[in-house]
Amino acid sequence: MDLLNTLVDKGLRREQPTREEALAVLATSDDELLDVVAAAGKVRRHWFGRRVKLNYLVNLKSGLCPEDCSYCSQRLGSKADILKYTWLKPDEASKAAAAGLAGGAKRVCLVASGRGPTDRDVDRVSETIKAIKEQNEDVEVCACLGLLSDGQAERLREAGADAYNHNLNTSESTYGDITTTHTYADRVDTVQKAHAAGLSACSGLIAGMGESDEDLVDVVFSLRELDPDSVPVNFLIPFEGTPLAKEWNLTPQRCLRILAMVRFVCPDVEVRIAGGREVHLRSMQPLALHLANSIFLGDYLTSEGQAGKADLEMIADAGFEVEGAGEVTLPEHRAHAGGGCGSHADAGCGAHEGAGCGSHEGAGCGSHEGGGICGTAAAAPSAAEPRTDLVAVRRRGAGTDLAPNA
């Protein structure tokens, strides 16, 4: 397929595809799906080999968020029956992180619900970061605390944070449809603050909220321009008790096409399969490892994930290997750029000319015949069969007396 050959060539050169090419990936037919996965897999292996980075979420403060993000089980007015608790103490958070690290994770993502941290909250998280790093010197720590005020990113960096996550989630043109208590520009500003402080920026999206193909391409192109080192791709978990509880728009095949499109647009960044992979990819999860080079281990913020042991078995059975603590995730030209765990240049993600966390639950936190380039997106896919049996509220780990899933 000429389209896929073109996209592989561009991906190996870190050259940005056109919008029409990105849309065409989303519009490919199910008959072409394995060809799409194989092509994007060439780009993934070129930059990341067969390594899979494991990340582990610690929900420092769950529920009771004043923001109204429609996708979030912790939102203002949420009726989802999730765990609710205030800040974990540093030793509690460190103990929770240790479980993920023992399971093979090399990055711990510290998440707290809310619009953004107060200065006192930054102090709390700084103490937690120090407690974790005292016990695990080589661990990467990513904070996800919502919108940052001036100077807070620098303080987190000084405390030992390596990265900061703040997702764009969807396109600028539709952002107001899912959230009214802050703006898309607020989110962009926080990612830029993380960059400026020398933190490795992590920013991604949520698919499955009723968005169009154009919306998906818009947000991924915006992410490329912002140039994060890692791009988490969340698939909406339609929690009962949230405004998007009835949005079951994803199939495993569509999820794979979305991941492939992200890989082609951001070829040399850490593409992470985040929340919802078990719900929407299901038995197709191993195929997604050919597209993404990073996953979360075990549970998410407010929902249960696949058993940690099953994650490790899946990686091995698919012919991949867990990335070791001593291995550098990013390609050399990104890892030597000078910030965080492998930082940024001024060019978009995948560009880096000459240049040496996010699960969506708490981010306060059609076919195309012939496979040619199509200037318009395919019609929205028909709703997938709801799999509410796969949406389980987390009842173990942080905030409980039960052992975590790691």
Give Cα 355 to chain centroid, integer Å.
24
Q: Stretch 375-402: mean pLDDT, rounded?
A: 71
Is 308 part of a structural domain of the chain? yes
Is 296 part of a structural domain of the chain? yes
User: pTM for the whole thing?
Assistant: 0.89
For residue 188, count CB atoms less than 10 angstroms from its CB and return exposed for 0-12, middle for 13-18, buried for 19 or more.
middle
Which residue range is the domain that position 270 belongs to? 2-390
DSSP state, residue 363 = T
Catalytic residue among 14, 44, 72, 187: 72
The answer to whether residue 272 is catalytic is: yes
The answer to whether residue 69 is catalytic is: yes
Catalytic residue among 44, 187, 202, 257: 202
pLDDT at 284 over 50: yes
Nearest to 41 by CA among 7, 16, 18: 7
The answer to whether residue 144 is catalytic is: no
Note the pLDDT of residue 383. 63
Is 144 annotated in a binding site? The answer is no
Catalytic residue among 69, 144, 357, 374: 69
Can you tell me whether residue 216 is helix, strand or coil? helix
Is 357 annotated in a binding site? The answer is no
Alpha-carbon distance 317 to 328, whole Å? 23
Is 341 annotated in a binding site? The answer is no
Name the pLDDT band for 62 (thresholds 50, 70, 90): confident
Is 142 annotated in a binding site? The answer is yes
The per-residue pLDDT for range 309-362, each reduced to its tens digit, is 999 999 999 999 999 989 999 999 998 664 445 443 334 444 433 333 455 554
Alpha-carbon distance 401 to 118, whole Å? 28
The residue type of 159 is A
State whether the Cα torsion 27-28-34-35 is positive or negative: negative
Tell me how far CA of residue 380 lies from CA of 147, 152, 212, 347, 367, in angstroms. 32, 41, 6, 32, 10
Is 346 part of a structural domain of the chain? yes
Is 72 annotated in a binding site? The answer is yes
Catalytic residue among 124, 254, 272, 334: 272
The per-residue pLDDT for range 94-153, each reduced to its tens digit, is 999 999 999 999 999 999 988 999 999 999 999 999 999 999 888 999 999 999 999 999
Alpha-carbon distance 302 to 313, whole Å? 24
Residue 372: CATH number of its domain: 3.20.20.70
The answer to whether residue 374 is catalytic is: no
For 99, the token pair is 């479980």
Is 280 part of a structural domain of the chain? yes
69-80 burial: b if 16+ Cβ within 10 Å, else e: bbbbbbbeebeb
Beta bridge partners, 322, equal: 52
Helices 33-48, 252-265: crossing angle, 10 deg rounding: 40
Alpha-carbon distance 387 to 150, whole Å? 42
Note the pLDDT of residue 348. 46
Is 259 part of a structural domain of the chain? yes
Catalytic residue among 44, 65, 187, 266: 65
Nearest to 4 by CA among 288, 373, 379, 375: 373
Q: Name 382's Cβ contacts closer than 8 Å, sequence gap at least 6.
A: none
Is 400 part of a structural domain of the chain? no
Note the pLDDT of residue 337. 64
Alpha-carbon distance 242 to 303, whole Å? 14
Catalytic residue among 44, 142, 255, 365: 142
Is 272 annotated in a binding site? The answer is yes
Catalytic residue among 14, 44, 75, 109: 109
Beta bridge partners, 85, equal: 62
Name the pLDDT band for 393 (thresholds 50, 70, 90): confident
Is 235 part of a structural domain of the chain? yes
Is 331 part of a structural domain of the chain? yes
Number of folded domains that form the chain: 1
